[in-house]
Homo-oligomer: A and B are copies of this chain.
Amino acid sequence: MKITYCARSERSTRNRFMRLKHSGDLRRAHRVEVVRSFYGGEPRTRLELANQLGLSVATIGTIVGELTKAGFLKEAAGARTGGGRPATQLTLRGGGSLVVGVDVAETYVTAELFDQAMARLARKRVPVLENAPEAVVEHVLAAVAAVRRQVYEAPVSAIGVSLPGQVEARLRPLLERRWDVPVLLDNPLKAITLAEQMFGAARDQDDVIVVNLGTGVGLGVVAGGRLLRGATNNAGEWGHTVLEAGGQPCRCGGRGCVEAYVGAGALMRLLEGSPFLVSGDQDATVARLAEAVRLGDSAALETLTRFARPLGLALANAVNMLNPELIVFGGWVSAALGEPLVSAVTPVIKEYALATPFEAATAVLGRHLDNPVSLGMAVLAFETHLLD
C-alpha cells in the first residue's frame, strides 16, 4: 500500500490565499474541519457547526450529509429533534474504521488502536534494545500486529507512524509495503502538537508553541490555528537553533544548539556527580530529580533553576519570533518535572523576551495525553479517509 509522507491533509486546508490545486481540495478540507471540531467537544447542530466554522448552513449540510453517509457522523443520542432537521445534534460515530497510531521513540515503540471517534481500544508498548533500522521495523510490525490482535476482527483502515527525523530516511523504505492499508508517516513533533491542539491544553487556541522536551527537543507551532509545517515539513527544529555559537557539541554535528543545553542529555550532564544521577538511565535520573524537587530538596531545586536558564532563553527567542498566546510544556521531561519546571522557566522567559509578547503568552504544562504521539498519528491516519 502506498505510504504518504508528511500529512498533506493539513496542507490542503491552507486558506484560500493558497493556490489549491483542485477545487475538490476545499471540500476535503471542510470534511477534516468538521470532524476535528467534534474532538473533545460536545454534540452540536448544523447551525452551531456553521457558526463555529464560519461556513454557510448549506455547505455544512452537504458536508454533514457526506460524513454521515460515510459512517463518520451520527445523530446524537437524545438529540433535540423537536425543532426540525437543523436542530438535530450530531456527534462522531464510534467504531467503524479503526486506525493505529505508532510512536517510534529511541527506546520503545508504542502502537495504539483507536476507533474513528479516537477512543483508544488497545495499546502495546515494546522496548527497543537495538537501534538497527531492520530491528526497529520488526518492533513496529510486532506492536501493530499485537494491537490488531487485541480487538476481535478489528478492521484497521489506516496506520500512522511517527518517525524521529534522524531515522526517518532509513526507516521509511523499510516500512513500505509491509501493511495492507494506507500508511501515513510524520514526525513526533507534529503529532504531539496536533494532539495538544485537538484534545489537550491548546484546544481553542490559535497561536501556540508546544515545546517537546525529551532526549531530543523540538518546538511544535500552531500559527493562526494551523500547524506550522514549513516548505518540507521540517519546521520546528528549534532544538538545533544556536544558543551559543561554538558552544557544546550537539548530536546533529553542530555546536551550541538548544538541544545540547535543554534536552535530557544536557540534564544528565548537569547532574554529574550528584546523587540524582542514575548513570546511563535518563528516565530514572529525571524521575529522581523530580521526586527531590517535589520534596523541596535544595540541591534539586538549584539544578532545576540552572536547567531553566538556557531553556527560558531559547523559549524567549521563540516567544519574540512567534508571539504565541500559549506555551505548552510537553514531552516526557516536562511530564516528569511537572509544574515546578514551568515555574522555574517562566521568569527566565520574562527576563529575555520583549514585554509585549511575554505578556501575551501563558505557560502551561501539556495535558500529557497518554500517548500524544500515537494519538496525533492516529488522527492523521484517519484523516486520509476524509481526503479521498
Contact = CB atoms under 8 A, between A and B. Distances in A.
Task: Please state the number of chain copies in the assembly.
Answer: 2
B55 A23 contact: yes
A353 to B, nearest CB: 8
Nearest to A309: B245
B316 A318 contact: no
A234 B240 CA distance: 24
A313 B18 contact: no
A112 interface: no
A85 interface: no
A252 interface: yes
Contacts of A223: 223-224, 226, 228, 230, 235
B25 A54 contact: yes
A238 B17 CA distance: 25
Given A15-B13, A225-B14, A321-B235, A230 B357 contact: yes
A323 B16 contact: no
A16 B31 CA distance: 10
Interface string A46-80: 00001111111000000000000000000000000
A314 B178 CA distance: 42
Interface in A82-98: none
B320 A16 contact: no
A287 interface: no
Nearest to A51: B23
A361 to B, nearest CB: 7
Interface of A: 11, 13-23, 25-26, 29-30, 33, 36-37, 50-56, 204, 206-207, 219, 221, 223-226, 228-238, 240-245, 252, 254, 313, 316-318, 320-325, 352, 354, 356-357, 360-361
11 contacts: A13-B17, A16-B30, A16-B54, A23-B50, A23-B56, A219-B321, A223-B223, A231-B357, A231-B360, A242-B316, A242-B317
Given A14-B225, A230-B324, 10 more contacts: A13-B16, A16-B54, A17-B37, A18-B225, A223-B228, A223-B235, A224-B228, A234-B323, A234-B360, A254-B352
